[in-house]
Structure 1
Amino acid sequence: MVLTGKGSYTGKRNETFVIEPIDLHTSSFNIHVEDVKYNGKAQKPKVTVMFTAPSNKEIKLVKGKDYQVEYYDHTGSPTQDTEGYVKITGLGNYCGTIGDAGEETCKFRMIHNRLASEFQISGIHNCVYNGEEQTFRNADGDCTLSVTCKGKTLVEGTDFKVSYLDHVNVGKATVLIQGIGDYAGTAKKYFRIKPADFLAAYQSGDLYIDYYEDGGLPNYITNQLWYLLEENVSLRYRYSYLEPGRDYRIVMKNFNKTGPGKICFVGKGNFKGTVVILENLYAEACNIGNYRVKINQNQTIYYTGKAIKPLVQLNEYAYDIPSDFYQTKVEKGINAGNYSYEITLNEKLFDTRDSYIKTKKGTYEIKPRNIEETKISPIAAQTYQGVAVTPKVSIKFGSLKLKQGVDYTVSYQNNHARTCDSSESAYVVIKGIGNFSGETRTSFVIK
């Protein structure tokens, strides 16, 4: 890690840090070893190692890269069902060994009867999101799946057990039917969880809209109305509040200068469909001159060597005006300098009268990058030959190689004698120009 001084500070400082590997013994790992059918030979069943990251994302580890496997007692007995086990050792970003202490998760069975791959399973179907875990059970909690093997109906808890993966949110869910008792192995089946319909949920009472603003909402469209919708109106689906942007978005429809429009909540992610929240809304007279312009979230824009097109927004007080209210044209910029933008109010949402200004123009600035943020290659030792020594320098900003006379100029200090004969080191002084500013220097040796 390189710390570079700015403002009242100069120079650079290198610091190091260590990324430690993750130990397999933590509870974040889920290990599964497939059961197998006895065949009289040493067997190496499939091993799956999953890691749950702090973000709750499931990561499947790669054998040979993230871990290695050793098998023990893996031939079995010709007369009875037996157990083998594996020892898993972390590699690379993972460390530790699991399995040598007899952990249950590292055992597998070698059986003489049936495997779960021979199960016939019915009763699995697609579901609609309801905010809860989707499981195939009745009101009494009994499994509604039908599992048979070679014509025999199997019993949950005696012949198999059921578990699920990814079975809450919209998407592909997994049912795991694991053989127990006289059966071994795991069968996988899949079903889809489909989005819940906003309108149907609203009509049934599952979707509830909470209003926190006394006196209702105005019947004309303003940015203040938008804030009321975002900050003082919330949606609750069954027992949980929904998150704007993730579960729904606010959409304006059918607006024009003479007729009314409406505002809707449109489902996203686990939801679909539309609920109309406000109708018969009319445009409000508006002057764009009343709004401020916010560029790049009010952050300074610096030269990067690549094309830049910053976010340009209208702002009033502490609030950003929704982007639906206006259109922007922004000139892309690469080099340090000023570039133009233009903002025009959406006439479908505002009554932009002839006496009102509906377009605002301006410029934004790309500032030069400080030359201290570049990387200067070390200068090889120079040989003194009776005249001033002026070595060339090589400077990069990322992968971009800077050009002398375009991006910087150079001058020299203490370059008229051998370093050992002088009380001071020799330096190249580098001054940024064009897309770079400021000044830095680097030392070199004169022999």
Structure 2
Amino acid sequence: MFYYIDEGTDYTVTYSANTKVGTVEVTITGTGSYTGEIKSSFDILPAKQQIQKLETRFKGFFIDWAQKGSATGYEIEYSTNADFKDSTVKKLTANKPDTLTISGLTAGNKYYVRVRSYTNVGEKVYYGAWSDSKNVTAAKYDITKSAISGISTKTYTGKNITQSVKVKYNGKTLKSGTDYTVSYSNNKKVGTATVKITGKGQYGGTVSKTFKINPAKQKIQKLTAKSKAFFIDWAQKGSATGYEVQYATNSKFTGAKKLDVANNKTDKMTISKLSANKKYYVKVRSYTLVKGTKYYGEWSAVKSVTTKK
């Protein structure tokens, strides 16, 4: 006859170090009507890995997997066989980085790829489960050798800025979505944005290009004459760090004077101590300071005003 006994009444269970990868000792100790103890153990293994990105490269591939804080390192296995027969294993002995580019493979061949984490505890190595395998075909052509055009300086709009990217390889115009993909970073705010062209299909590799996003063109909203002075009101730009106001007595702005308005909330001012009954040409532009670099918007359309006595 078998009897069911209750934890806490008839026995207690204690564990040693059961929150980390390694071997956990379990001790079951009798209490009440029961005496003695039983010892056992079990292993805590690293979590199953996950391939986050697998991209073709010229005669190779690029892999990005989930970084595991508990890992000592990783193993990347690849083969031309789905069952990983005759595979090659690349072992990384640090938990950073969590990306790898494999090169020197056969162009046009399909490769099956998987990755797993491992953790060293003392002299024992604990391996996590292999990730689900994915496959990629090693590219025949190197997109880094292509000619990239259609990238130019843009103006801030408050929305993500894109480019009309064109890619040619040995004179052949490649097709977006079929031969390559385009992605962007830092392409919404004023500053320097990056466009990344990643090969696809028969084309492998990546090419990154940068472009500037400048503040939007300024606009003079009001320009009125005053005694030996003029009043100017321009459009306030939320993306601006400040503004520059330039004025001269000739339309070519020869010998012009320039005022730096470092407060972006100041969008109007009176410029005085000028000559009476004199015609002045005026323009204004915004600028944005990003990591020590000034990005200038276009000058507004030029307007003129004649001062009063």
TM over 0.5: same fold? no
Bigger RCO of structures 1 and 2 (CA < 8 A, at least 6 apart): 2
Give the TM bin, normalised by the shorter chain. 0.3 to 0.5
Q: Which has the higher helix share?
A: 1
Q: Which has the higher strand share?
A: 2
